[in-house]
Structure 1
């Protein structure tokens, strides 16, 4: 008899995999797409309904149905039901800070060579979008230590990570505080394989990165502006403990597909940030200078003062909004847990009744 893959022992499957398989369950997030391609994500709750200006759709029609089902509202409006992909979840999850877009997260995973079992540290957790991608890459047997300065952001990230993985991830640790101080206190020298920084001034962390990163390890930075990119690159070159930095940006342009009307979309995801990668050299080795070294640039005090969140275009987020986003992220996890517990209780009661 062929074994149902959804019946595998959860301990043998990667963390969170069981939640991605099988029929729709109470407390699960489901993405509904209507006939015009508009998408909405709902959390399945028995006895409730999804309401629009075109009628309502009972959640009970979806609970127990296989993924990819087609359902109809009370007025005949059709919906296609699927589990949200990671890219869908990232763009719709509760947030307190701007998220790392999927196109950049994919580049970080690939160009940063994040592999299963790797030991990774990151700083600038934000809403947890990049943390989710990193955890998927390192796997259950890897290690991701995230550092965040603001407790509100950490709470939002924790809620989002637990939502998509169905609970705390075994490879994840999150700490509050400044990266350059905390990472050297909590991680042994040379014990980290990869460092990922998404922060305002990564050049301030140069000594800390050089301390914890193993020889040959990769350091990848995500910065928003040319001035940040320039100063980080010059600091790395002047330090001498790393290889020549390499920088790039990615742009994604979708295409309109309708019969013979095949053309680029009018809108695209253009610049979101710059990525820069460098590698740690062995102790005592000095990095090679490029054949054509750019002239050094002096930074005056007014230049240093210019690198503030407001100056580089970052919006300040109110404490009230952060607290609301943290509550939303936490409530999604709790709702799912409550629905699962309720379903287990009903199952046990039904079993007693049959006896």
Structure 2
């Protein structure tokens, strides 16, 4: 399955026209009340937002500029804003865990995803990372996403088309195993960046090394320390990449009220590890780090990589079909 390229709109890059100007019918709007509670609604002709404290007619919002304050029938005020990308990602229909905004931002920066880049990704999930990658490569770039399950691809396509207001000209999505399909779709040495969010990225070593251009970046998103270790050791043993680097990021908000300035009690802690390596030129030997012990894995270790063994929840086909319908319904609302 692939989305057909579409020309850049006269209003600017794809989706830009939905990010500025007055509120219009079909747009999502984030309402925040005096207590800081947020609700997201989709504007409709004749629509209304009801609570136990009165209701707010959508007509009070339609035509007003972003950042307006409106009052409902009971005199309660709401701040109206267009949801940011982070807001959309955390509330969009999903069939799999999404890549959190903090990790997507790290991937875009640390993998140097630039406008016009040729990028391939695998493990599309619900499309959260795909949206960030498309924003980074722009209409003149290229993103080819590979997903093993049709249901996840449907959910991702619905979410991508919702936020961009239709198909994105740089995006193509294919169904199948990355290590097989990418070799059919991409010429050797033609890809600038490879982004993998999957259970066993080390199984894709040959495919990545084949399609990635010399100097190109390969970044992996993995959930557990054992996955991180196995991937790093496989990259080292392969000999076609630079020494891998790994890190994680954690985000802690702060409470700001008068002199009561302190860290919030909750934070976004561990979500995943990022591991990055770069493709060496053909025939070049990698520099070998001194005093590095060679890791060994037993046959039992190698056969233990199943979604259940690393704590992934199994999602039923019935639930995926329902989420896919919700994601596709969002296209008509955008």
Is the shorter-chain TM-score for this pair beyond 0.5, marking a shared fold?
A: yes
Deviation at 1:11, TM superposition (A): 2.5
CA deviation profile, 1:50-109 (whole Å, cap 9, x unmatched): 112222111111111111111111111211000000000000000000000000000000
2:306 maps to which of 285, 305, 308: 308
Within a 5 Å distance, the mapping from 1:46-57 to structure 2 comes to 46-57=45-56
Q: Within 1, Cα distance between the matches of 2:291 and 2:71?
A: 65
**1:340 corresponds to:** none
Within a 5 Å distance, the mapping from 1:321-340 to structure 2 comes to 321-336=319-334
TM-score (norm 2): 0.96
Could you say what secondary structure the match of 2:167 adopts? coil
**2:199 corresponds to:** 200
By relative contact order (CA 8 Å, sep 6+), the higher-ranking structure is 2
> Which of the two has higher C-alpha Rg?
1
Deviation at 1:303, TM superposition (A): 1.3
Within a 5 Å distance, the mapping from 1:138-149 to structure 2 comes to 138-149=137-148
TM-score (norm 1): 0.91
Question: Contact conserved, 2:126 with 2:153, CA < 8 A, in 1?
Answer: yes
Deviation at 1:188, TM superposition (A): 0.3
Q: Within 1, Cα distance between the matches of 2:9 and 2:306?
A: 46
- What are structure 2's unaligned runs of at least 5 residues? 1-7
CA deviation profile, 1:289-333 (whole Å, cap 9, x unmatched): 11221x222222221232211111111111121111111111111
Within a 5 Å distance, the mapping from 1:6-21 to structure 2 comes to 10-11=9-10, 13-21=12-20
Could you say what secondary structure the match of 2:268 adopts? coil
Within a 5 Å distance, the mapping from 1:110-189 to structure 2 comes to 110-189=109-188
Structure with the higher helix share, 1 or 2: 1
Q: Within 2, Cα distance between the matches of 1:299 and 1:291?
A: 21
Q: Within 2, Cα distance between the matches of 1:285 and 1:99?
A: 37
Q: Within 2, Cα distance between the matches of 1:250 and 1:102?
A: 11
Could you say what secondary structure the match of 2:218 adopts? strand
Give the alignment's Cα RMSD to 1 decimal: 1.0
Shifted more, 189-198 versus 30-39: the winner is 30-39
Q: Within 1, Cα distance between the matches of 2:134 and 2:190?
A: 18
Q: Within 1, Cα distance between the matches of 2:54 and 2:155?
A: 33
Asked if 1:320 is matched to 2:318, the reply is yes
